[in-house]
């Protein structure tokens, strides 16, 4: 059977919604550069979105109670030059500061926590680390001298 296009019935107000349209806009949650109050969340949004769009997006798709939205456009610098001395433009982007309603708070999580990297037993890394530690220990002076140098000694 040849491929035919699926035809949906014409939509009039009150009909059941058979098609769902998802927006082609995507929000990016970012860590704020400057310290923000606990109820404020910072997003990078597409240039075409407005404050009302952001509010509806978050409330309908993610069920986030939104109090107020403020937006600004960040200019991407056009100062850098490449090896051909041509100006290289960093893209502009829009930033939205969303204040949450119902006294909710949000803190940006720590995505790259510091890990205690202990090398596994018997491996090359562990032997190298031990060797480096020993070298450093040899460079240090005798602790019984209390920081005095060995220049004027026996």
Residues that bind other proteins (CB under 8 A): 35-37, 39-40, 65, 67-68, 70, 99, 101-102
Contacts of 17 (CB under 8 A, 6+ apart): 11
Between 35 and 110, CB nearer to other proteins = 35
Collapsed DSSP state (helix, strand, coil) of residue 101: coil
Q: Are 62 and 54 in contact (CB under 8 A)?
A: no
Between 46 and 104, CB nearer to other proteins = 104
Q: How far is the CB of 138 from other proteins (least distance, A)?
A: 44
Q: How far is the CB of 146 from other proteins (least distance, A)?
A: 39
Between 40 and 93, CB nearer to other proteins = 40
Q: How far is the CB of 63 from other proteins (least distance, A)?
A: 13
Q: How far is the CB of 111 from other proteins (least distance, A)?
A: 23
**In whole angstroms, how far apart are CA 54 and each of 8, 46, 65?**
29, 10, 12
Backbone CA torsion sign across 54, 60, 63, 67:
positive
Q: How far is the CB of 54 from other proteins (least distance, A)?
A: 15
Between 30 and 119, CB nearer to other proteins = 30
Helix (H) or strand (E) holding 133, with range, is helix 124-139
Between 102 and 120, CB nearer to other proteins = 102
Q: How far apart are CA 107 and CA 11, in angstroms?
A: 43
């Amino acid at each position: 059977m040849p491929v035919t296009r699926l035809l949906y019935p014409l939509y009039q107000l009150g009909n059941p919604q058979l098609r769902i349209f998802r927006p082609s806009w995507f929000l990016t949650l970012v860590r704020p550069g400057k310290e923000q109050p606990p109820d404020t969340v910072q997003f990078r949004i597409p240039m075409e979105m407005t404050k009302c769009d952001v509010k509806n997006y978050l409330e309908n798709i993610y069920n986030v109670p939104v109090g107020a939205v403020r937006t600004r456009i960040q200019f991407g610098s056009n100062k850098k030059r490449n090896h051909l001395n041509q100006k290289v433009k960093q893209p502009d982007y829009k930033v939205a500061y969303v204040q949450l309603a119902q006294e909710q708070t949000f803190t940006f999580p720590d995505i790259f926590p510091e890990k205690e990297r202990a090398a596994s037993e018997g491996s090359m890394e562990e032997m190298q680390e031990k060797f480096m530690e020993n070298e450093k220990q040899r460079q240090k002076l005798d602790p019984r001298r209390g920081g005095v140098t060995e220049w004027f000694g026996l």
